[in-house]
Chain A
Amino acid sequence: MTWLSNGSPSWQWFHRLGSPRWFYHRSGRWLPWLSLAALLVLLNGLVWGLAFAPEDAKQGNSFRIIYIHVPAAFLAQSGYFIMAIAGAIGLIWKMKISYMVMKSAAPIGAVLTFIALFTGAVWGKPTWGAYWVWDARITSMLILLFLYAGVIALQYAYHSVDAASKASAILALVGTVNIPIINKSVDWWYTLHQPATIKLTSAPSMHMDMFMPLLVMIVGFYLFYAVALILHTRNEILRRERKTSWVRELANAKAGR
């Protein structure tokens, strides 16, 4: 078993990443840079999209909501997959930290889903004349919000941390299998009932000047997501490892003792 201990360097990071202590210290060093990058990219994209990009021929200036609606919707969906993958890693490799990541990803994803829903509704008013229209994309988002709510509720239903983590990991995996089915069926249902309205977001036909800021915003949202996920995970580490000596030392150092 010596090959495991002195180890192939390519797997070492994986085992290290599994250590909450290592993750806490290392992520503390990444955080300032990551936050700065997220802030700069988001500000850049927002100013570009809101003030410099040309307006849409059909929808006018209200289309600028795309620069927050689409990235938020995008991250809300990827966030669910990230959560499920973290849960799967926890179930398969019994890695403590991945359950913490999974638990942290749920509320962040839910907030992003809420942002996508809210901006979609506000966008709907000038476009369709109503805040809520049962559009395929928005309906899928609403169902996604319910899926997130289920994971969060299950997480808090169990007193045992272990049971809560494993149960919600299974639920997240079941949800992941279902998301493509839900999206496809909702799309199909929508074309059945309302064949022709203006679709929010028609990316392929977008002009380059409009598309570039959108791309920047998506990158910015990804960076932001990473920052938020790390922050939430660090808290989860402190909460679950509070009896370990390194957390106690950390707390003492912060308290100035």
Chain B
Amino acid sequence: MYFENFQALMHMDGHGVYVWSAVAVTVVALLWLIIAPLAKQRGLLKEISRDIQREQDRQHATNNIPDSVDSKESV
């Protein structure tokens, strides 16, 4: 290691504040670019399956009424 100990690595002759804050912001921003789409993907899949469920429920409801079986279910 270039620095003698951990403290020196943190301090970096007074430049530590700048270097580490830059690193911290970068890490947070990069993580956000990964975590946000993952969370959104879960939400999307849930939303789609809920939509399908609702559609099926509606279809069941219309199927139970004998008159409206044909032609309307595709809507």
Contacts and interface: CB of A to CB of B under 8 A. Distances in A.
Q: Taking the complex as a whole, does A directly touch B, i.e. does some CB pair lie under 8 Å apart? A: yes
Interface of A: 35, 46, 50-55, 60-62, 64-65, 68-69, 72, 108, 111, 114-115, 118-119, 122-123, 125-126, 224, 227-228, 231-232, 234-235, 238-239, 242, 247-248, 250-252, 254-255, 257
Contact of A51 (B9, B40, B41, B46): B9
Contacts of A53: 2
B25 interface: yes
Given A61-B13, A111-B33, A254-B49, A238 B44 contact: yes
B49 A235 contact: no
Contacts of B49: 251-252, 254-255, 257
Nearest to B1: A51
B34 interface: yes
A231 B19 contact: no
Given A54-B2, A224-B30, A235 B48 contact: no
Interface residues of B, number: 32
Given A55-B2, A255-B45, A115 B38 contact: no
B25 A115 contact: yes
Contacts, number: 104
Interface in B25-58: 25-26, 29-30, 32-34, 37-38, 40-41, 44-46, 48-49, 51-52
Contacts of B44: 235, 238-239, 242
A227 B34 contact: yes
B1 A52 contact: yes
A114 B2 contact: no
Contacts of B26: 68, 72, 115, 118-119
List 8 tightest A-B contacts by C-beta distance, closest first: A61-B12, A255-B49, A251-B48, A251-B49, A62-B15, A231-B37, A61-B15, A119-B22
Given A115-B26, A234-B41, 8 more contacts: A51-B3, A61-B12, A61-B13, A111-B32, A111-B33, A125-B18, A242-B48, A251-B45
B23 interface: yes
A84 to B, nearest CB: 20
Main secondary structure of the interface of B (DSSP, over half): helix
A64 B9 CA distance: 12
B19 A62 contact: yes
B53 to A, nearest CB: 8
B18 A126 contact: yes
B4 to A, nearest CB: 11
Q: Find the residue from B19, B29, B40, B44 having the highest chain A CB count within 10 A.
A: B19
Contact of B18 (A123, A239, A252, A255): A123
Contacts of B29: 111, 114-115
A232 B39 CA distance: 11
Contact of A50 (B9, B14, B25): B9
B7 interface: no
A131 to B, nearest CB: 10
8 contacts: A52-B2, A62-B12, A62-B18, A65-B19, A119-B22, A227-B34, A231-B38, A252-B49
